[in-house]
Structure 1
């Protein structure tokens, strides 16, 4: 469908059913670490679960209400990033993301989020991008903080994972706050 080069080693591309096996294997290999902060690894037990996820994402893309892309590093899927929804009346969206264990520490998510922000503001003409992150997930919280998001609040006991409640920190970024240098369009 589309491919956006982030740099010479990394790109983003819409997830398609043909990616399901590789996506599932990445989740399976990183299940323990991903499961600390996210609920989907517990629900992803077989390749068919990844197929279902991708098909739902493509349906949301068709309905103009978000989608998920793969993050590729040197030709291998490294993780995923997506618009959880697009609220066209409020002109805002929320971005979600995750990486497999062996791809962390390379700046991939920061670069991918930057591309999604540029796309949100410049191609989709949205006014606000939000991110919600588990309050104790300091590595993930560093991304919106690095990119100039404002911490807008905390949702207490937002999610129950691994026998405990997790708070979520809400970050927001407005279009007029975004530095638009080095923009790469999705189209």
Structure 2
């Protein structure tokens, strides 16, 4: 099982069954903040739901068709990030991510997304990474913008959540755009 060190206090690790309790309590404690933008918190009613989610993620990992990793900071699970799918024909993926409420605004999602982008291009040899963000979730939209993604459009009425339709802003980053950014950051 993989583990990626992000800095001295933060790392990504593939979610395993043993993490189900910790994952549930993190989701349960952040239902209101995460549930504004994503539907899974309202469907997560117990540890069993997290175990099922992790088992499905491990199956997808084994088939090289996406997976979810935990984001750990100072020894605690603080969120999750993953490849929603890996399209080997089109050579692209979509990254999804979320943090527990008390861990937002600390730059943790940004460094986690950066690591997943690097992995997608360097190790998976993909050509494109996408991120879809609720149109009103300004905090989360800052992440792809900061990392050089281009806004590609808006999917209207993408999801019905909390009694209203939410639009999604689609961001994309191509391999050659990432390479240019990597080269310029290495020379600075």
Other-structure match for 1:5:
5
Q: CA RMSD in A?
A: 1.1
Greater length-normalized contact order (CA 8 Å, ≥ 6 residues apart):
1
Map 1:52-131 to 2 at 5 A.
52-131=52-131
Which ranges of structure 1 fall in alignment gaps of 5 or more residues?
A: none
Whole-angstrom CA distance in 2 between matches of 1:180 and 1:121: 11
Q: Which runs of 5+ in 2 are unaligned?
A: none
Q: Residue 138 of structure 1 corresponds to which residue in structure 2?
A: 138
| Paired residue secondary structure (1:83) | strand
Q: Give per-residue Cα distances to partners, 1:79-128, cap 9 Å, x unaligned.
A: 00000000000000000000001111110000000000000000000000
8 Å CA contact 1:81–1:95 kept in 2: the answer is: yes
Q: Which residue is 2:182 aligned to?
A: 180
- 2 CA distance for matches of 1:62 and 1:173? 26
Q: Give the number of equivalent residue pairs.
A: 183
Q: Does residue 34 of the first structure (1) align with residue 38 of the second (2)?
A: no
Contact 1:118-1:180 within 8 A present in 2 as well: no
Q: Normalising by the residue count of structure 2, what TM-score does the alignment of the two structures yield?
A: 0.95
